[in-house]
Amino acid sequence: MNEGIFLECEVCGRKTKDLKLVMIEGAAVYACPSCAAGKLEARQPIVRVRKVTKKPVQEEEDKLLIIDYGKVIQKAAQAKGLTVEELAKRVGESESTMRKIIHEKLTPTEKTAAKLEKLLGIKLYE
């Protein structure tokens, strides 16, 4: 026997498989046939037994720049024959910003880092 499919009438408490969603005093209520008699059927079925599987709030991954990101950028740029100026242009940063990044005085924004990674074929995050 599967008791799970039996639901209780919200009016009289009788257990029945045959519940109807009706409007009683302005509220949608699941009622057994005798309680539902003469009542207006509610249009919206309400899901009573709902498994609440809360999705964990996805935290944004904490990205950590590698320690020697500047050197890695510089090396990769040199390997590709790119000057700092060219590199800056390609990723849409100013030359001075690019220099600061290379000298690790400034961390690149995620956007810039992503561009650098793609352009130079390197990984800047751990």
Measured from the CB atom, the residue of 23 and 119 that comes closer to Zn ion is: 23
- How many CB atoms are located within 10 Å of the residue 30 CB? 21
Site residues (CB under 5 A) for Zn ion? 9, 11-12, 14, 32, 35
Nearest to 108 by CA among 121, 118, 93: 93
H/E segment holding residue 78? helix 69-79
Smallest gap, in angstroms, from Cβ of residue 10 to Zn ion? 8
Measured from the CB atom, the residue of 12 and 46 that comes closer to Zn ion is: 12
Smallest gap, in angstroms, from Cβ of residue 32 to Zn ion? 4
- How many CB atoms are located within 10 Å of the residue 14 CB? 16
Smallest gap, in angstroms, from Cβ of residue 59 to Zn ion? 47
